[in-house]
Amino acid sequence: MNRTRLFTPGPTSVPEEVLLEMAKPIFHHRTAEYRELFADCTRMLQQLFQTRNPVVTLAGSGTAAYECAMINTIPTGGKVLALSNGKFAERWVTIAKRNKCQITELKAEYGHAVAPERVAEALAKDTFDAVTLCHSETSTCTVQDLQAIAAHVRKTPAVLIVDGITAVGAIEVKADDWGVDILVTGSQKALMLPPGLAFLSVSEKARQKSESVSQPNLYLSLPHYLKSLADNDVPWTPAVSLVRGLSVALKMILNQGLENVFKSTHAYASAVRHAATAVGLKVFSSNPVDSVTGIVYPAGIDDKAFRGAMRKKFGMHLAAGQGSMEGKMFRISHMGYVDAFDTLGAVSAMEMVLRQQGYAFNFGAGVAAAHKELATHLG
């Protein structure tokens, strides 16, 4: 019987310690017990985000947190500079359109980042209320140069709203040092939890914006969350069991040390990229991110057949390509509760399925390349 192994970039696998904590009897959230637990989680989230600013916790998905960020800091008819290079960046453009924003879109082809110089040029030509981007564009496995872009934005009145959903806890991102005004992530990625929680750090610049923007939403009212957070509470019913699991997951991450987490994530990503190259496959993206790798199918390999075989034969769940890359590549996550031998196993299974489906290559070359990379990075 195969054990299920999630290599999808959300949800990711959840450690047994976290599952056991969430299985404990539920308790009431309007209590000192909950506020103490929540305060501890918030302090750890600040360490994870590398910020001294408040980090808001929502019962919802990453999209809820991103929408919260946008509707609370961009006035009706406000101007948005949107960096768009994949399905998730396109989603933030959709939110801006639904809220009647004036949008200047800086597009890059799937698999490419938007050059910081283009951002600087756009900011020099006009004044914007917000700049939106994906640090780690999950759909195209591409990383943006967030630090360089933030350096340009922080000189302007615009708030920088960043999708860090597959970045926070997987790759380096320094909210305060880099000048990110709102940084968003979700529980089901590098934080090793089931879906259901979302988080956003909020700078003073963003807080001031939220106080001046009038929007009709109650559940996603950022001022309500910030007011409750000052008392270690939330304005609406929290996902108590998930918050209990969050406490355990954050302790695991911080006990390992963020730099060690980033090092491991890089090692797994590098191993898979080298393995793909060794068997003649193309790694998608000219700016690959360490949290998730995209690999282009060779001619003759069907997406559904390949991923179906990986799942049925070996219990390994991979993600499909999205948007213009649907059916053309598969994606494999390196975030969260995954280790070197999970990575080697995924490469080995990939080779076996490719050979069974008629792809000709030097069998075993991928595993050897991955093993060498892991040994180099993890010693």
Q: What is the CATH number of the domain that holds 339?
A: 3.90.1150.10
Residues 92 and 222 in one domain: yes
- Give the pLDDT score at 181: 98
Residues 189 and 250 in one domain: yes
Residues 272 and 306 in one domain: yes
For residue 318, pLDDT beyond 80 = yes
Residue 333 pairs in a beta bridge with 292
Residues 210 and 244 in one domain: yes
Average pLDDT, stretch 128-149?
Answer: 98
For residue 312, pLDDT beyond 90 = yes
Residues 328 and 340 in one domain: yes
- According to DSSP, the β-strands at 329-333 and 316-317 are unpaired
Residues 211 and 262 in one domain: no
Q: What is the pTM of this model?
A: 0.97
Number of domains in the chain: 2
pLDDT for 331-378, tens place per residue? 999 999 999 999 999 999 999 999 999 999 999 999 999 999 999 999
Residues 223 and 337 in one domain: no
- Give the pLDDT score at 221: 97
Distance CA 376, CA 379 (A): 6
Domain CATH code at residue 128: 3.40.640.10
For residue 1, pLDDT beyond 80 = no
Residues 266 and 189 in one domain: no
Residues 161 and 278 in one domain: no
Q: What is the overall mean pLDDT for the chain?
A: 97
Select from 238, 256, 274 the last residue of a domain.
Answer: 256
Residues 203 and 320 in one domain: no
Cβ atoms < 10 Å from Cβ of 219: 13
Select from 239, 256, 273 the last residue of a domain.
Answer: 256
Average pLDDT, stretch 57-84?
Answer: 97
Residues 167 and 203 in one domain: yes
- Give the pLDDT score at 215: 87
Residue 330 pairs in a beta bridge with 295, 320
Average pLDDT, stretch 41-54?
Answer: 98
Residues 138 and 248 in one domain: yes
Select from 198, 221, 256 the last residue of a domain.
Answer: 256
Give residue for tokens 């708030």: 159
For residue 72, pLDDT beyond 90 = yes
Q: Which structural domain, as residue segments, surrounds residue 227?
A: 16-256
